[in-house]
Amino acid sequence: MDQQLQLDQQQLVSAWQERLPSFMNEGDSYTVQADEGDQKSLLIHFNASGRQNYTLDFRCTYVDSREVAVNLIDVERAGQHTDERTDAVQQLAQRYTRQIHECAQELKGLTHS
């Protein structure tokens, strides 16, 4: 059985932009864009609410039609690269990773034909 992703990348971006807010904490914002280098990947940029001014960038890659691999690519605090091993960053990264997985699950109907 073919588990390949059968979806246009732009459709995927639109679906993510529509669904992701329902998993987000109030005050957080994000952008979703196509990964130009990989048809199966999306780049998701989160702006964490709060005084720390953290932004986290993730690559969400469809392993197959049901499963995504989520990788933290970059973390900045107030526009400066920051250590991603701190507790605050780890907690944010875990939360956003969970939200990405939850959103991917929600969109399974789109990606799994």
Model pTM score? 0.90
User: Residue 88: inside a domain, yes or no?
Assistant: yes
- Supply 77's token pair: 């605090």
Name the domain count of the chain: 1
- Residue 87 to residue 113: CA distance in whole angstroms: 39
Q: DSSP assignment, residue 86?
A: S
Which pLDDT score, from 0 to 100, does residue 111 have?
78
User: Residue 42: inside a domain, yes or no?
Assistant: yes
Task: Find the domain containing 90 and state its range.
Answer: 9-111
User: Residue 61: inside a domain, yes or no?
Assistant: yes
Mean pLDDT of 89-102: 96
Contact 12, 110 (CB under 8 A): yes
Residue 4 binned pLDDT confidence (cut-offs 50, 70, 90)? low
Distance of CA 49 to the CA centre of its chain: 16
Strand order in the sheet with 29-34: 29-34, 41-47, 54-62, 68-77, 80-81
pLDDT tens, residue by residue, 25-68: 889 999 999 999 999 999 999 999 887 889 999 999 999 887 89
Residue 104 binned pLDDT confidence (cut-offs 50, 70, 90)? very high
User: Residue 4: inside a domain, yes or no?
Assistant: no
Which pLDDT score, from 0 to 100, does residue 8 have?
84
User: Residue 3: inside a domain, yes or no?
Assistant: no
- Residue 113 to residue 108: CA distance in whole angstroms: 9
Provide the CATH number for the domain around residue 98.
3.30.530
pLDDT tens, residue by residue, 8-26: 899 999 999 999 999 998 8
Q: Alpha helices of the chain — where are they, by DSSP H?
A: 9-19, 87-106, 108-111
